């Protein structure tokens, strides 16, 4: 029998800077859904990618002194690494600079033109470069871009327009008659209708002539296809529409769901369906506009530094912990405030205390009392029924939530059962049963019940924390069929072969960890706030003549004084397990002292006698009460197991102390 298909997409991200936790949020959610549908037996197509054209990228590349292609290649490589690190199981990754995509976009544009849905006109209005959007005077807020609050420029150009206005009625019909669940959550439907459709849709300007980094309009040289037409088309070109690179269009289109951030719901629920109507193609079944992750104080901003960098968070707490937190903490459709404290609390309470404890207590008791397998001679008694019933009903409740994309609700259901099982341990007191040989049958039933609950919960947690579930299943020693979705419906007289337990989710010392993160942040701020992550919306205002975000000028770079220095002495900073105090010969004759958070990776003897690179003109700062007059350079990376790795940059010993580095 042919498998049912499921096609799910994320937005394609702008590779204008490194991605931050907000981008991870949407991608992890899509990954969870894709894994869930695969687990159910669907033939899944999960697409993500990058949206690489437009003036913003062209400007950034120029400022960086590289070609736009070089600029995006570099960032896209980092994005792919991030998805690998975060265990994202996308089936395809589309880049809008891929040849096949560009050719398809050209065909789509021409097709719309030939059908009369694109026509040539002239545009006069206000243009916001960072948002790549035209605005009318009345749409501006205080004369500035209503989306990002930045300056807009007066523009007039000959341009092509898409007859968006023509589709208003058909869109309304689709929303209300044909597919009432098209826009989720429902509040976004009201927003689209009241804010955009009812006031009257205007035709959309779909070409640009003011820059060149984009897909050229084949029949009118000098015109570039508007970046949103280019970007939205990715959902079909990636399946082979208009190209012969892929051949899955018939199989997977229409998409089952597009996951998008709420700010781009408009493009996906108005512009995109209208484009598809104009092309005579089926419309996506659903667009889910999810909420934003905000930081305390309102927005994620680069001044908050690495703490919102998913690479750092995965390195410190593990990929699964972060995945779990993102989907458990915030209802998918609403905004949520991200904080390190919330993250650590959630890991400690749910993963370490509830799930981790249940697994380790149960497994160690099973091992202690019965070795590996649980004897078949089991005395079940009626109080077990309520627990078993709850576990056997769990899959239904979980599924009901998952089908609504209510990831938080699905996880709450699973953890209700986990909590109930922990309570059951306290009620049945297996350690007391273990003392009485006459109770062996009862003890076997209790431990069997607990193992079955762990197994069922683990199956349902697979999409969220896949690596940890694999470890749990290994520890339970069950065969593959007992780990399948079908087997999550009932107690299955499963055979267990219990293995050595390993602490899955170590408890995090909140106080120490927050201090460490604060210190990392202080170091960054002292170092001039390194831009670690792409700034999330809403965007902060920038001075008019500032270089694009994430880019510095050569003059900025010249401000940093880098010199070679030799480590003459080194010792741990008292009361800190992270910091080392280094005495340096910096060629001045007086020397200097630097405090560095590298003790986790280096012992003093690894450093003494070595030559390092020092940022010599950093404002001195006290770290744990010890004055630090500079910073040594080191590379920060993530090992395959997710742990953070730091390697100091050492210099050739023949270079004299005090030599400056340009």
Q: How far apart are CA 421 and CA 578, in angstroms?
A: 38
Q: Indicate which single residue of 164, 229, 260, 417 sits in contact with ligand ME8 (rule: CB under 6 A).
A: 260
Q: Which of residues 375-394 bind ligand ME8 (CB under 6 A)?
A: none
Considering the complex, state which of residue 26 and residue 595 has its C-beta at the smaller distance from ligand ME8.
26
In the complex, what is the shortest distance from the CB of residue 232 to ligand ME8, in angstroms, rounded to a whole number?
Answer: 5
From residue 290 to residue 309, the character string flagging contacts with ligand ME8 as x (rule: CB under 6 A) and all else as - is --xx------x---------
Buried b (16+ CB within 10 A) or exposed e, 470-509: ebbbebbbbeeebbebebbeebeebebebeebeebbeebe
Closest-CA residue to 88 (of 16, 15, 43, 35): 35
Q: How far apart are CA 578 and CA 623, in angstroms?
A: 11
Residue 143 has phi, psi (to 5 degrees) of 75, 5
In the complex, what is the shortest distance from the CB of residue 233 to ligand ME8, in angstroms, rounded to a whole number?
Answer: 8
**Cα 566 to Cα 56, 75, 155, 380, 609, distances in angstroms:** 43, 34, 57, 71, 6
> Among the candidate windows 11-19, 357-365, 450-458, 589-597, which touches ligand ME8 by CB under 6 A?
11-19
Q: How far apart are CA 215 and CA 344, in angstroms?
A: 45
Q: Indicate which single residue of 14, 167, 196, 241 sits in contact with ligand ME8 (rule: CB under 6 A).
A: 14
In the complex, what is the shortest distance from the CB of residue 231 to ligand ME8, in angstroms, rounded to a whole number?
Answer: 4
- Residue 240 engages ligand ME8 in binding (rule: CB under 6 A): no
Q: Indicate which single residue of 8, 12, 224, 344 sits in contact with ligand ME8 (rule: CB under 6 A).
A: 12
Q: Is 379 helix (H, G, I), strand (E, B) or coil?
A: coil
55-64 and 68-85 are packed helices; what angle lies between their axes, rounded to 10 degrees? Answer: 100
Strand partners, 124: 156
Q: Which of residues 625-644 bind ligand ME8 (CB under 6 A)?
A: none
Q: Indicate which single residue of 6, 7, 18, 22 sits in contact with ligand ME8 (rule: CB under 6 A).
A: 22
- Residue 71 engages ligand ME8 in binding (rule: CB under 6 A): no
In the complex, what is the shortest distance from the CB of residue 11 to ligand ME8, in angstroms, rounded to a whole number?
Answer: 4
What is the widest separation between alpha-carbon atoms in the chain? 90
- Residue 447 engages ligand ME8 in binding (rule: CB under 6 A): no
Considering the complex, state which of residue 313 and residue 394 has its C-beta at the smaller distance from ligand ME8.
313
Q: Indicate which single residue of 51, 59, 354, 586 sits in contact with ligand ME8 (rule: CB under 6 A).
A: 51
**Cα 617 to Cα 8, 155, 392, 432, 524, distances in angstroms:** 50, 44, 64, 66, 14
Cis-peptide, bond into residue 538, ω within 30° of zero = yes
In the complex, what is the shortest distance from the CB of residue 261 to ligand ME8, in angstroms, rounded to a whole number?
Answer: 2
Considering the complex, state which of residue 94 and residue 391 has its C-beta at the smaller distance from ligand ME8.
94
- Residue 88 engages ligand ME8 in binding (rule: CB under 6 A): no
Block residue for tokens 């697979």? 462
**Cα 578 to Cα 571, 595, 623, distances in angstroms:** 11, 10, 11
Q: How far apart are CA 415 and CA 406, in angstroms?
A: 15
Considering the complex, state which of residue 64 and residue 232 has its C-beta at the smaller distance from ligand ME8.
232
Closest-CA residue to 461 (of 13, 145, 36, 52): 36
In the complex, what is the shortest distance from the CB of residue 335 to ligand ME8, in angstroms, rounded to a whole number?
Answer: 8
Considering the complex, state which of residue 147 and residue 486 has its C-beta at the smaller distance from ligand ME8.
147
Considering the complex, state which of residue 94 and residue 482 has its C-beta at the smaller distance from ligand ME8.
94
- Residue 206 engages ligand ME8 in binding (rule: CB under 6 A): no
Considering the complex, state which of residue 293 and residue 433 has its C-beta at the smaller distance from ligand ME8.
293
Q: How far apart are CA 369 and CA 367, in angstroms?
A: 6
Considering the complex, state which of residue 107 and residue 624 has its C-beta at the smaller distance from ligand ME8.
107
Considering the complex, state which of residue 11 and residue 310 has its C-beta at the smaller distance from ligand ME8.
11
- Residue 11 engages ligand ME8 in binding (rule: CB under 6 A): yes
Q: Which of residues 30-49 bind ligand ME8 (CB under 6 A)?
A: none
- Residue 264 engages ligand ME8 in binding (rule: CB under 6 A): yes
E strand or H helix at 385 = helix 383-403
Considering the complex, state which of residue 95 and residue 592 has its C-beta at the smaller distance from ligand ME8.
95
Q: What is the CA radius of gyration of the chain?
A: 29
> Among the candidate windows 227-235, 279-287, 353-361, 637-645, which touches ligand ME8 by CB under 6 A?
227-235
In the complex, what is the shortest distance from the CB of residue 300 to ligand ME8, in angstroms, rounded to a whole number?
Answer: 5
Considering the complex, state which of residue 246 and residue 380 has its C-beta at the smaller distance from ligand ME8.
246
Considering the complex, state which of residue 112 and residue 355 has its C-beta at the smaller distance from ligand ME8.
112
Structure tokens at 498: 């219990």
In the complex, what is the shortest distance from the CB of residue 137 to ligand ME8, in angstroms, rounded to a whole number?
Answer: 25
In the complex, what is the shortest distance from the CB of residue 205 to ligand ME8, in angstroms, rounded to a whole number?
Answer: 17
**Cα 294 to Cα 22, 300, 512, distances in angstroms:** 8, 6, 24
In the complex, what is the shortest distance from the CB of residue 61 to ligand ME8, in angstroms, rounded to a whole number?
Answer: 16
In the complex, what is the shortest distance from the CB of residue 325 to ligand ME8, in angstroms, rounded to a whole number?
Answer: 14
Q: How far apart are CA 377 and CA 427, in angstroms?
A: 21
Written as one string, the DSSP assignment of 35-49 is: HHHHHTT-EEEEEEE
Per rule CB under 6 A, count of chain residues that contact ligand ME8: 20
- Residue 83 engages ligand ME8 in binding (rule: CB under 6 A): no
Considering the complex, state which of residue 293 and residue 355 has its C-beta at the smaller distance from ligand ME8.
293
Considering the complex, state which of residue 25 and residue 505 has its C-beta at the smaller distance from ligand ME8.
25
- Three-class secondary structure assignment of 205-251: ECEECCCCCCCECCCCCCCEECHHHHHHCHHHHCCCCCCCCCCCHHH
In the complex, what is the shortest distance from the CB of residue 260 to ligand ME8, in angstroms, rounded to a whole number?
Answer: 5
In the complex, what is the shortest distance from the CB of residue 125 to ligand ME8, in angstroms, rounded to a whole number?
Answer: 21
- Residue 25 engages ligand ME8 in binding (rule: CB under 6 A): yes
Give the single-character DSSP code of 568: E
Q: Is 628 helix (H, G, I), strand (E, B) or coil?
A: strand
466-476 and 357-370 are packed helices; what angle lies between their axes, rounded to 10 degrees? Answer: 10
Neighbours of 319 (CB within 10 A): 23
Considering the complex, state which of residue 107 and residue 537 has its C-beta at the smaller distance from ligand ME8.
537
Do β-strands 118-128 and 153-162 pair in parallel, antiparallel, or remain unpaired? antiparallel
Give the single-character DSSP code of 600: T
Q: Indicate which single residue of 86, 206, 231, 410 sits in contact with ligand ME8 (rule: CB under 6 A).
A: 231
Q: How far apart are CA 578 and CA 581, in angstroms?
A: 10
Q: How far apart are CA 200 and CA 484, in angstroms?
A: 51
Q: Which of residues 522-561 bind ligand ME8 (CB under 6 A)?
A: 536-537
- Residue 13 engages ligand ME8 in binding (rule: CB under 6 A): yes
> Among the candidate windows 8-16, 87-95, 124-132, 178-186, which touches ligand ME8 by CB under 6 A?
8-16
Residues that bind ligand ME8 (CB under 6 A): 11-14, 22-23, 25-26, 51, 231-232, 234, 260-261, 264, 292-293, 300, 536-537
């Amino acid at each position: 029998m042919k498998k049912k298909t499921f096609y799910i997409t994320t937005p394609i991200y702008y590779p204008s800077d490194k991605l931050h936790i907000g981008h991870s949020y949407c991608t992890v959610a899509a990954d969870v859904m894709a894994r869930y549908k695969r687990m159910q037996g669907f033939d899944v197509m999960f697409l993500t990618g990058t949206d690489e054209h437009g003036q913003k990228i062209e400007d950034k590349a120029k400022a960086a002194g590289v070609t736009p292609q070089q600029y995006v290649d570099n960032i896209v490589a980092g994005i792919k690494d991030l998805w690998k690190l975060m265990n994202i199981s996308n089936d395809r990754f589309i880049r809008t600079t891929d040849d096949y995509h560009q050719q398809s976009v050209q065909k789509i544009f021409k097709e719309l033109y030939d059908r009369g849905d694109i026509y040539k006109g002239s545009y006069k209005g206000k243009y916001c470069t960072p948002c790549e959007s035209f605005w009318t005077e009345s749409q501006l807020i205080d004369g500035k871009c209503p989306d990002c609050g930045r300056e807009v420029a007066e523009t007039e150009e000959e341009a092509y327009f898409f007859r968006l206005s023509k589709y208003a009625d058909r869109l309304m019909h689709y929303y209300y008659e044909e597919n009432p669940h098209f826009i989720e959550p429902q509040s976004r439907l009201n927003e689209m209708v009241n804010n955009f459709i009812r006031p009257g849709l205007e035709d959309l300007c779909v070409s640009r002539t003011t820059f060149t980094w984009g897909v050229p309009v084949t029949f009118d040289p000098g015109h570039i296809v508007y970046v949103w037409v280019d970007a939205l088309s990715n959902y079909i070109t990636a399946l082979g529409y208009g190209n012969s690179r892929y051949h899955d269009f018939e199989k997977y289109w229409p998409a089952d769901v597009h996951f998008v951030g709420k700010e781009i719901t408009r493009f996906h629920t108005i512009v995109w369906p209208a484009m598809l109507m104009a092309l005579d193609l089926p419309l996506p079944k659903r667009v889910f506009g999810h909420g934003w992750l905000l930081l305390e104080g309102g927005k994620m901003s680069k001044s908050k530094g690495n703490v919102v960098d998913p690479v750092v968070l995965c390195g410190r707490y593990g990929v699964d912990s972060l995945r779990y937190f993102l989907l458990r903490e915030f209802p998918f459709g609403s905004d949520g405030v991200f904080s390190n404290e919330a993250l650590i609390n959630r890991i400690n309470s749910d993963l370490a205390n509830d799930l981790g404890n249940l697994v380790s207590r149960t497994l160690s008791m099973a091992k202690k009392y019965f070795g590996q397998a649980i004897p078949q001679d089991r005395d079940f008694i009626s109080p077990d029924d309520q627990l078993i019933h709850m576990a056997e009903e769990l899959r239904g409740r979980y599924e009901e939530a998952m089908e609504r994309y209510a990831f938080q609700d699905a996880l709450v259901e699973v953890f209700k059962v986990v909590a109930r099982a922990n309570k059951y341990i306290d009620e049945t007191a297996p350690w007391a049963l273990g003392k009485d040989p006459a109770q062996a049958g009862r003890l076997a039933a209790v431990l069997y019940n607990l193992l079955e609950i762990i197994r069922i919960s683990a199956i349902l947690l697979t999409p969220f924390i896949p690596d940890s579930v694999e470890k749990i299943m290994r520890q339970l020693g069950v065969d593959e069929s007992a780990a399948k979705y079908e087997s999550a419906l009932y107690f299955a007289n499963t055979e267990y072969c219990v293995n050595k337990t390993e602490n899955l989710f170590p408890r995090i010392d909140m106080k120490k960890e927050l201090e460490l993160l604060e210190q990392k942040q202080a170091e960054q701020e002292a170092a001039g706030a390194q831009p670690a992550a792409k700034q999330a919306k809403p965007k902060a205002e920038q001075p008019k003549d500032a270089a694009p975000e994430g880019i510095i000028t050569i003059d900025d770079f010249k401000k940093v004084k880098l010199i070679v220095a030799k480590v003459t002495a080194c010792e741990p900073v008292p009361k800190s397990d992270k910091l080392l105090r280094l005495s340096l010969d910096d060629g001045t004759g007086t020397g200097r002292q630097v405090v560095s958070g590298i003790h986790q990776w280096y012992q003093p003897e690894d450093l003494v006698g070595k030559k390092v690179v020092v940022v010599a003109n950093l404002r001195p700062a006290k770290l744990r009460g010890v004055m630090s007059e500079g910073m040594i350079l080191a590379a920060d990376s993530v090992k395959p197991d997710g742990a953070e790795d730091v390697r100091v940059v050492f210099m050739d010993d023949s270079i004299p102390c005090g030599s400056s580095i340009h």
